[in-house]
A and B are shown apart, each in its own frame.
Chain A
Amino acid sequence: DGGITQSPKYLFRKEGQNVTLSCEQNLNHDAMYWYRQDPGQGLRLIYYSQIVNDFQKGDIAEGYSVSREKKESFPLTVTSAQKNPTAFYLCASSPRTGRVADTQYFGPGTRLTVL
């Protein structure tokens, strides 16, 4: 089955530690995205990548880093510089057909809690 996987579903870390969230897709999509979701805030874009080896900052990139070495993988690192890292993190992908914005397909999310 094609889809997007994120692991783990729940993650606990101590304050001051970096943590990497996994996102893998087998949909052969060109574009991938990371969003952060907080209660009452909707989805806020952290980083996005339209092609391998290239990525761009979104609206709230400070304290986060990403890499896109393979088309199917787009890991997100939450660094110790992120002031309030506890949140629900969603990864998404889209085919980027070149038309208007394509449908985005979301993974199941990772709930990160920093203690």
Chain B
Amino acid sequence: QQPVQSPQAVILREGEDAVINCSSSKALYSVHWYRQKHGEAPVFLMILLKGGEQKGHEKISASFNEKKQQSSLYLTASQLSYSGTYFCGTERNYGGSQGNLIFGKGTKLSVKP
């Protein structure tokens, strides 16, 4: 049930673009994206709800394709501050766990000058 993220790691030069994917074998109700710097707490980026919407946060945007049960995070014109590990969290909707998230293993993004 854990969502699968790809790629596992990516290295960019400043100004380059990247796409991180998050796929689930179960129907998705919402997808949450977080970024974590080494040794720090994950920080919320955005939430996408069922309906195929696309959201943006500065130069970071995301899409949600419920038919494909997939979300993608787009980082454009990457900055050094974008470095970190990106996690997607998908909502559980079974049993008594509604509303809880299950997280992918993360994608490590390194932006070099």
Contact = CB atoms under 8 A, between A and B. Distances in A.
B54 interface: no
Given A42-B2, A48-B100, A100 B106 contact: no
Interface string B45-86: 001011000000000000000000000000000000000000
Interface residues of B, number: 27
A43 B29 CA distance: 19
A115 B32 CA distance: 36
Interface string A34-48: 010000111111001
A43 B85 CA distance: 12
Given A42-B103, A100-B29, A109-B40, 20 more contacts: A31-B99, A33-B100, A40-B105, A40-B106, A42-B87, A42-B106, A43-B87, A45-B101, A50-B99, A90-B42, A100-B50, A100-B99, A101-B30, A101-B32, A101-B92, A103-B32, A104-B89, A108-B41, A109-B39, A111-B39
Given A40-B105, A41-B105, A96 B44 contact: no
Given A42-B104, A42-B106, A100-B30, A107 B99 contact: no
Interface of A: 31, 33, 35, 40-45, 48, 50, 56, 58-59, 90, 96, 100-109, 111
A42 to B, nearest CB: 4
A44 B106 CA distance: 12
* Top-9 shortest CB links A-B: A106-B41, A101-B91, A42-B105, A43-B103, A100-B30, A42-B103, A101-B99, A103-B44, A106-B42
B96 interface: yes
A45 B40 contact: no
Nearest to B105: A42
A111 B41 CA distance: 12
23 contacts: A35-B103, A42-B103, A42-B104, A42-B105, A43-B89, A44-B103, A45-B100, A45-B101, A45-B102, A50-B99, A58-B100, A100-B29, A100-B30, A100-B91, A101-B89, A103-B44, A103-B47, A104-B44, A104-B89, A105-B44, A106-B43, A108-B40, A111-B39
